[in-house]
A and B are shown apart, each in its own frame.
Chain A
């Protein structure tokens, strides 16, 4: 199913190093995994309390891998590394992976380069859910999960379900119809969100920080519940890379290739929405990653989903872990600001070096 790749014109304007990387997805994957490992260690060793890197590695090795190390570090260092930083780094990586994989999926599925994980209303649905949760006077917390997580997750899923349902009734070409419906429902939900925020009084600040996105409250129970959801959805998407390639050629061609277009589209849409909803419930609304990481990867390796999807996972995870690290060094910046500030210029640079021949 590599027809989608072979048909594309090669650009002469690409620098040699980019062109060389294009044919080495495996090299890129290994580089990405090394970056991920570095991000993990840096994410555990750095923070507003400094813990020597040797201690950090020893704490992880001793507690998680059973190394027979002599305990020379303070108990507080262990708590910081194991209870605060490790779940935080893992959450950041899972969310980064989920958002960029979902972004790549939505871009391919909707054949629209502006699509991101939030395009069909997940963001507005989750934000409205979270805002309502903060207004409800009854609070419950079970294993670190509050009403906020549950309602944000449900809100994201519901929003897309409504968009999907309503768009099938419209008479337009189905992709346009889905996008426009997503826009309309999203606007409606955003109005609901604005209304809720207006009514929220002293909780406004919490809603605001939720909208900016942050990993500062990540905890183990959240990892234990969120990670499997993201893993399952990701496996579903990754196993359908060939089908996504087929869908990129257009519905009719895909159908001729023997793809059950309706079923596969629903499945991919469902899985991408599921992992987006889980990511959003864990960390709030973090923009940019889901839009740009897939484009970055595509700029380098081209549009073949079999390379694009796994590389989006790896680089999305590494990028988010680094962004979160940068966000917490000066105190606690909202991570969404960091992703845009470090990602956008790099993206512009790559776009400029690829003036000719970029296609989905």
Chain B
């Protein structure tokens, strides 16, 4: 009966959703050169939460969703770790943290990575099944499996602080329930590179590692400045950063820091045309005509030679000119302390001749046998 119609709709949706959970897995043309990283990590950050184009701006988040570019710490944070303190997270929620958190649960791989960089990794008592950097981060018990938050595990751990992701990355109802249970939950969702830096300071403030955060941010700013200086006088080609391919094409949303990354790396980003959705229609992509295609999904087996074989893609300048470059998606699209290195990798992908030190992090993919 009519439930059957819904059933069919659900089945179709299941396909769509499964597809975007692991877009790269659909094209296993080549094995990744290195397999130590969980193969479905980075694309799930973005496309899972926003699989289709839409003008809606995350209505399920709190109505006052104004990503605050600066982390506000009310009691002056000049000496290390004054608690209690109140921080304002990226959704505008004021979160009071009573004392320096000794047990921290992270619901996103980016927050996990940030915690370790801040020297607070030993206080991580629960993480996600995607945590892959640094390697010891994988040891914490998983309280997020696939995208499911295991609330019971979190209650059992009884953390002093929970770091969650915005834009539906952590389900908003789950964030609300954790808050109802009395846990302080800080939500991060950066929309620009500056906000990534601000988020590192926000997490630093929340865990009482203000000075470490400042040091990391300063180093990142310096690296970012190196990159922007190196590409300042270079032409800006139209760049499509491919986050995933199949069943849809996934690229940066208009208001995503990935688009911001492409601009900083000296390219003109081709975005999806929607503030939060990461799906780009092929027609739009053909119309925008990328001069360079950067394969973020190279880590999952998508390599340049397969791109030319895709129907409709041979029209694009980048494909005609063979300007298709693989990069390590994890360092480019994860809003975490290695982002400066990710930016350098991206800049070198766009401008191979730029006067820039090669990235000290990340993995190279799709290596062609060296030809002198």
Residue ranges of A at the interface with B (Cβ–Cβ < 8 Å) = 47-49, 74-77, 79-80, 83-85, 114, 116, 118-119, 121, 123-124, 127, 134-139, 141, 144, 146, 182-183, 185-187, 189-190, 193-194, 197-206, 208, 211-212, 216-217, 219, 285, 287, 331-332
Contact = CB atoms under 8 A, between A and B. Distances in A.
Interface stretch (B173-181, B217-225, B352-360): B173-181
B63 A139 contact: yes
A219 B177 contact: yes
Contact of A202 (B10, B58, B62): B58
Interface stretch (B151-159, B201-209, B283-291, B316-324): B151-159
B54 interface: yes
Contacts of B50: 201-202
Interface stretch (B1-9, B191-199, B226-234): B1-9
Nearest to B48: A205
Contact of B156 (A80, A121, A189, A194): A80
B55 A203 contact: no
Given A205-B17, A285-B3, A287-B3, A331 B150 contact: yes
Given A80-B152, A208-B17, A287-B3, 5 more contacts: A48-B152, A75-B158, A118-B1, A201-B277, A211-B6
Contacts of B102: none
A202 B49 contact: yes
A187 B2 CA distance: 6
14 contacts: A48-B150, A49-B152, A49-B156, A118-B3, A135-B59, A137-B63, A183-B2, A194-B9, A199-B56, A201-B276, A203-B60, A204-B16, A204-B51, A219-B180
A199 B156 contact: no
Contact of B56 (A77, A201, A211): A201
B5 A187 contact: yes
B1 A204 contact: no
Contacts of A118: 1-3
B53 interface: yes
A106 B13 CA distance: 29
Contacts of A206: 60, 168, 171, 173
A123 B1 CA distance: 11
Contacts of B1: 114, 116, 118-119, 182-183, 186
B21 to A, nearest CB: 10
Given A47-B152, A123-B2, A198-B52, A205 B180 contact: no
Nearest to B47: A202
Contacts of A138: 59, 63
B2 A201 contact: no
Given A48-B153, A80-B155, A135-B59, A202 B9 contact: no
Given A49-B152, A134-B60, A331-B150, A123 B173 contact: no
Nearest to A287: B3
B2 A199 contact: no
A35 B276 CA distance: 48
A285 B59 contact: no
A79 B155 contact: yes
B167 interface: yes
A217 B173 contact: yes
A235 to B, nearest CB: 27
Given A139-B59, A200-B54, A202-B50, A331 B3 contact: no
* Smallest CB-CB A-B distances: 4 pairs: A201-B54, A186-B2, A202-B50, A190-B5
Contacts of A139: 59-60, 62-63
A76 B157 CA distance: 8
Given A79-B181, A217-B173, A201 B5 contact: no
Nearest to A144: B180
B66 interface: no
Contacts of A48: 150, 152-153
A189 B9 CA distance: 12
